[in-house]
Amino acid sequence: MQSLSLTSKVKARPHVGRAFAFAALFAAMCGGASAQTPTYAEIYVVPIGTTPAPKGTCTTKGSYDICVYPEPINTGGAVGTDVTITWDLKSAGWSFVKNKGIDIKNMKNWKLKEVTPTQYEATNKKENGVFYKYEINVTDGTITLPPWDPTIMN
């Protein structure tokens, strides 16, 4: 006569829900480490003596003030993560000079692109407090102002 066992022969498995939760948490943490940290800069071009003055640090070029906020641009994030800087030219009637509106000197690994006639974007890896000079080149279609060279702190 054969005996009948009421116990299961299936081995116990770890809780599948916990394994999925752990995997999702790990993926989120790894994804966050490489996510880009955005930094935004605003540029204003106004006639000298405009009141109220635009926010930011200004310099006079010809009969205009060019103002950048913030100055210097300080990129965020941990060293080695991706950083992005977006410059927006806020003054009506002004645009960046085609193909050289923002010109980062000694670029190293910066990747720069013209997004629109009034917006530029640059990407790089976050460094440990490296300074870069960059030029702002703007035009109203009739005159092109001399460049100004503010600073990026990456």
Domain boundaries, the chain: 36-153
Q: Does domain 36-153 have CATH number 3.30.70?
A: no
- Placement of tokens 């460094």 in the chain: 127
> Measured between alpha carbons, how far is 59 from 150 in angstroms, rounded to an integer?
10
Q: Are 88 and 40 in contact (CB under 8 A)?
A: yes
Asked if pLDDT for residue 32 goes beyond 50, the answer is: no
With tokens 């410059």, the residue in question is 87
pLDDT in tens, 57-94: 999 999 999 999 999 999 999 999 999 999 999 999 99
Give the tens place of pLDDT for each residue, 111-135: 999 999 999 999 999 999 999 999 9
